[in-house]
Copies of this chain bind each other. A is one copy, B any other.
């Protein structure tokens, strides 16, 4: 079978697969790229993971995830920053091991309000400060930090960065090669300003990664898991994908789905279905086919 050459399977879509399984089912489905997560990588160890990735022939598109930047100064914040430095090194190692066209991108989820705090503005300032501390490490490693705005329903418990515009405002102080943004349809499709901000992201050279999955209601009891295959919900992939293309993005496109039913399914089936739905809902809106040698 032939999947879209720009499709990348974010490993969270097959959350319960170990790294070996994730690489195998992705390659077996004719998909050329994968986005990795730290936990399954560290389960086998970074060096082993890098060898497995190289053997798979897949490109790696992102490493997920760093962040958790909202804590106040103290040992916990320093530990979080140190952990992000390890994640930067992992990202660089994996990108070097992946097939040609791999990208060295660490996705950052900012973190929510610290326990007992109501100070969103303060938490947001600390995100900016943390990225400032990590930017030199990322630059030295050749890694791009991708600030991911999360849907505002996660603002207090997961990510105080809620819009693409806000992510770009934070990124603006840094070299675009070092700090960009993750553009994920699920998180930003609702924003009345989304097309303007996608265009701005392109103009400012900040689209580090484009991720797709769908939204539909009612949301599940755990709203973290309300993501769906492209086309199964109400997101307009034509306008968003068209805007990302028009903004100059020519890279791989990840499908990242958090969904309990999908996680309970056979990962090979999930990857095949992801490739099919991507081909139907996203591929028709891509003007640029990836030159993947």
A285 and B223 alpha carbons, distance in the complex (Å): 33
Known: A153-B151, A156-B215, A217-B156. A189 touches B120 (CB 8 A): yes
Give the residues in chain B near A156, CB-CB below 8 Å. 190, 215-217, 234
- Interface-located stretch among A65-73, A111-119, A176-184: A111-119
Q: Is the CB of A124 within 8 A of B192?
A: yes
Question: Per-residue 0/1 for A176-217: is the Cβ within 8 Å of any B Cβ (1 yes, 0 no)?
Answer: 000000000000011110000000000000000000000111
Q: Which residues on the B side are within 8 Å of A239 (C-beta)?
A: 121
A162: chain B residues at CB < 8 Å are 190-192
Copies of this protein chain in the complex: 2
Are B120's CB and A236's CB within 8 A? yes
Residue of B nearest to A217 (CB): B157
Bits for A3-42, please: 1 = Cβ < 8 Å to B, else 0.
Answer: 0000000000000000000000000000000000000000
Q: Which residues of B contact A155 (CB under 8 A)?
A: 190
Chain B's nearest CB lies how many Å from the CB of A159?
10
Q: Is A57 an interface residue (CB 8 A)?
A: no
Find chain B residues with CB under 8 A from A219 CB.
153, 223
A234 x B153 contact (CB < 8 A): no
Please give me the residue from chain B that is nearest to A221 by CB atom: B221
Pick the residue among B117, B121, B163, B236 that contacts A234 (CB under 8 A): B117
Sample of 11 A–B contacts (CB below 8 Å): A118-B234, A118-B236, A120-B189, A121-B239, A124-B192, A151-B153, A153-B223, A156-B217, A156-B234, A157-B218, A169-B192
With contacts A113-B234, A152-B191, A156-B215 known, what are 7 further pairs, Cβ within 8 A? A118-B234, A120-B236, A124-B192, A151-B153, A153-B223, A165-B192, A219-B223
